[in-house]
């Protein structure tokens, strides 16, 4: 099945730093979404992208749908302690075939160093 490669696996940052993470696929996707998951909770939708090249912001978060349709990135500016968590990219393959659900990456663990 489809796989999304998400990197980095983990990030150790200091409060106030900017963060960048990305997600790539071997095939074209027509939808990219970014979620954040805290321990013991379900994923929370941060940003949804539907068009190649689309750049969307949500507060300090900015995400882009890559022009090749095979990648997406998420940036977090001026990180704060509550940004700690696991960030997942998810997408829907362009082919439309196969499962109707989203395909998820393995997540990026964001850790803020004291």
Of 14, 82, 96, 100, the one binding another protein (CB under 8 A) is 100
Cα separation, 46 vs 32, in Å, equals 11
Question: How many residues make contact with another protein (CB under 8 A)?
Answer: 25
Distance CA(99)–CA(102), nearest Å, equals: 8
Q: Which stretch binds another protein (CB under 8 A): 14-22, 42-50, 61-69, 73-81?
A: 42-50
Of the pair 30, 77, the CB lying nearest another protein is at 30
CA dihedral (48, 54, 55, 59) in degrees, to 10, reads -30
| 110 is a site residue for another protein (CB under 8 A) | no
Q: From the CB of 86, what's the least distance to another protein, in Å?
A: 9
List, in order, residues 6 or more apart from 109 with CB less than 8 Å away: 9, 10, 11, 85, 86
Binding residues for another protein (CB under 8 A): 4, 31, 33, 35, 40-45, 48, 50, 88, 90, 92, 98-107
């Amino acid at each position: 099945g489809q796989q999304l490669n998400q990197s980095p696996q983990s990030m150790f940052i200091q409060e106030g730093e900017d963060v960048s993470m990305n997600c790539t696929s071997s095939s074209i996707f027509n939808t990219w979404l970014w979620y954040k998951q805290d321990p013991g909770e379900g994923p929370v939708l941060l940003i949804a992208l539907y068009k190649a090249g689309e750049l969307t912001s949500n507060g300090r978060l900015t995400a882009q749908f890559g022009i090749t349709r095979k990648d997406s990135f998420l940036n977090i500016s001026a990180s704060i302690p509550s940004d700690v968590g696991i960030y997942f990219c998810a997408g829907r393959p362009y082919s439309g075939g196969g499962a109707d659900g989203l395909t998820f990456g393995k997540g990026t663990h964001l850790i803020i160093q004291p």
